Structure 1
Amino acid sequence: MSATGRGAPAQFAATGQKTSARSATADREIVISRVISAPRELVFEAFTQVRHLSRWWGPDGFTTTTRTFEFRVGGAWDFVMHGPDGTDYQEWIAWTEIAAPERIALRHGESRDDPNAFESVLTFASDGTATRIEMHTLFPTKELRDEAVEKYHAVEGGRQTLNNLAEYIAEIVRKEEEGGN
């Protein structure tokens, strides 16, 4: 299982699972969303280039070392997340759909053949001058979802990851406003 397993202010919301009776997969889902004060194209770009991802990806205290990265449908990101306690977590993401700048679908596990890999869909919606990002994650089983939440703190890790993204984006915007890159 991956490291991300994968009080909330108004711009940020997370649920351990959907409460909708309409969803037959609710007990296997995690949905996390956040509003980021930046244009959708910039927020989307932060997910598409390794130079960005390596600066913000993961929960607080984690760092990322990329082995390979190819952002395209069928491409993969092979990387290691280094936990604050020194534990390394082998990670692998394959992109299954890319619709710039609105949507990214992916499969995330420890390796290409991980039977416990989960699927995530990220959506990017303009919200005035900001962007609402939603990460919808679906696990193969309720047990794997519960393990991700309880053992790997997936909801809190997801919140922290999106907070790290927001801080990184704010830094980019600030530098652009100051006239530097």
Structure 2
Amino acid sequence: MSLFRHSRDLPAAPEAVFAAIQDPARLARWWGPAGFTNTFQTFEFREGGSWLFTMHGPDGTDYPNQSEFLEIVPHSMVRIRHVNLPHFELSIALEPSAAGTLVSWIGVFENREFAENMRQFLETANEQNLDRLALEVGPGPYLGA
């Protein structure tokens, strides 16, 4: 197994960040690396629910994705399992912070060799995901305590 860990403070309350994850129209706007778009076929945002979508690369290549929602804690955490290859679990934790919300992105890949060969791409893609999420929930003022 191989682990990828990324985090980012976002100037938005955990509820606002969670809303950008649970709303399929919003999630489709920011999910994936820079230049990618998404078409969702199924989005059952509940534990055990299915998430089927196609990621469209900037070069026109389509990447079918099938995931299952394993755990959802409103305003705190979402954990998914990527069912098709490459197999991985992704946890997105949301914690209140002075800036708004600390988003912790932890991916655990089943195939260590694949993950290590793709490490540079995956790390860049994860940071771009967080960049895109930051744009989705910002730049409005943080109205937390």
Normalised to the residue count of structure 2, the TM-score between the two structures is: 0.90
Root-mean-square deviation over aligned CA pairs:
1.7
Q: Which structure 2 residues correspond to residues 83-98 of structure 1 after superposition, within 5 A?
A: 83-98=57-72
Q: Which residue of the partner structure matches residue 122 of structure 1?
A: 92
Normalised to the residue count of structure 1, the TM-score between the two structures is: 0.73
Q: Which has the larger radius of gyration?
A: 1
Structure 2 unpaired stretches of 5+: none
Does 2:102 correspond to 1:137? no
2:83 & 2:65 partners in 1: Cα distance? 6
Q: Which residue of the partner structure matches residue 49 of structure 2?
A: 75
Cα shift at 1:76: 1.3
Cα shift at 1:148: 3.0
Counting aligned pairs with the same residue, the percent is: 34
2:128 & 2:111 partners in 1: Cα distance? 24
Q: Deviations over 1:118-147 (max 9, x none)?
A: 011110000025101011111113212113
**Greater strand proportion:** 2
Q: Which residue of the partner structure matches residue 78 of structure 2?
A: 104
Does 2:111 correspond to 1:147? no
2:29 & 2:124 partners in 1: Cα distance? 19
Does 2:10 correspond to 1:36? yes
2:72 & 2:24 partners in 1: Cα distance? 16
Aligned to 2:81, the other structure's residue is in SS state strand
Structure 1 unpaired stretches of 5+: 1-24
Aligned to 1:77, the other structure's residue is in SS state strand
| Structure of higher RCO (CA pairs closer than 8 Å, 6+ residues apart) | 2
Q: Which residue of the partner structure matches residue 9 of structure 1?
A: none
Aligned to 2:4, the other structure's residue is in SS state strand
